[in-house]
Amino acid sequence: MSIKVKLNKTKMLSNYTMKEATNKEEAIISILDVINENPVWLNKITDGLYLLLKNIEKEHQQFLLEKSVDEQVIDLFVKIKTEYYNFKDNTVWS
């Protein structure tokens, strides 16, 4: 007796829309929203601040971001936003 399995290629689409930010406060809101949503494309982020945020309790995440240097928060936002756009581009064009 043999069993045939048919594998279908499916695109992984995401309806998630990342929030924009023009300053540290908005970047914090956007970063926390992304971490809460936890989309698959976040797996490519290896930033130390992100890894720390991902592994602490939710109630401490905002505090950590608020106490972090502005440039660190903005850099993290840019890295996350870049991966977001890369994911969007790949899902649209593949």
User: Are 79 and 44 a contacting pair, CB within 8 Å?
Assistant: no
Please check whether residue 72 lies inside any domain of the structure: yes
In this prediction, residue 94 carries a pLDDT of 53
Count structural domains, the chain.
1
Tell me if 83 is assigned to some domain.
yes
Q: Which residues of the chain have pLDDT under 70?
A: 1-14, 92-94
* pLDDT recorded at residue 90: 80
Share of residues in the chain with pLDDT > 70 (%):
82
Is residue 43 in a domain?
yes
Q: What is the pLDDT of residue 14?
A: 59
**Residue 41 in domain:** yes
Question: Range of 64's domain?
Answer: 24-93
Residue 28 included in any domain: yes
Q: Is residue 64 part of a domain?
A: yes
Question: How far apart are the two ends of the chain, measured CA to CA in Å?
Answer: 37
Residue 12 within any structural domain of the chain: no
pLDDT of residue 92: 67
Q: Is the residue at 10 inside a domain?
A: no
